[in-house]
């Protein structure tokens, strides 16, 4: 499925970038960097963050700080800022 229509990125592209990066990307911006592009409209940021969280859950324990509610809320605010730009 296409996750980012601006950069024509599929969910497989994003998962591959997340799983093959030297350090687990923690934000949509880091994933874009791994894929050699940048955010355009920002609508895909939430889906990319979901994919990152799934990869993090598979790679580490459920107590991972990436899964904290406060951090998730902060990430959503950044994503909305990207979409508004």
- Cα separation of 54 and 67, whole Å? 10
Residue 70, judged by CB atoms within 10 A of its CB (0-12, 13-18, 19+), counts as exposed
List, as one string, the DSSP characters of 47-72: HHHHHHHHHHHHHS-TT-GGG-HHHH
- Cα separation of 25 and 28, whole Å? 8
Domain boundaries, the chain: 2-84
Is this model's pTM higher than 0.85 or not?
Answer: no
5-51 pLDDT, tens digit each: 999 999 999 989 888 877 777 888 889 988 999 889 989 999 999 99
Reported as a pLDDT band with limits 50, 70 and 90, residue 63 is low
Q: Max alpha carbon distance in the chain (Å)?
A: 35
């Amino acid at each position: 499925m296409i996750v980012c229509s601006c950069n024509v990125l599929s969910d497989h592209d994003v998962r591959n970038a997340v799983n093959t990066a030297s350090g687990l990307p923690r934000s949509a911006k880091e994933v874009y960097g791994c894929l050699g592009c940048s955010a355009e409209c920002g609508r895909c940021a939430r889906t990319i963050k979901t994919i990152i969280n799934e990869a993090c859950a598979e790679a580490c324990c459920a107590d991972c700080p990436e899964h904290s509610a406060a951090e998730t809320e902060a990430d959503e605010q950044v994503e909305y800022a990207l979409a508004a730009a």
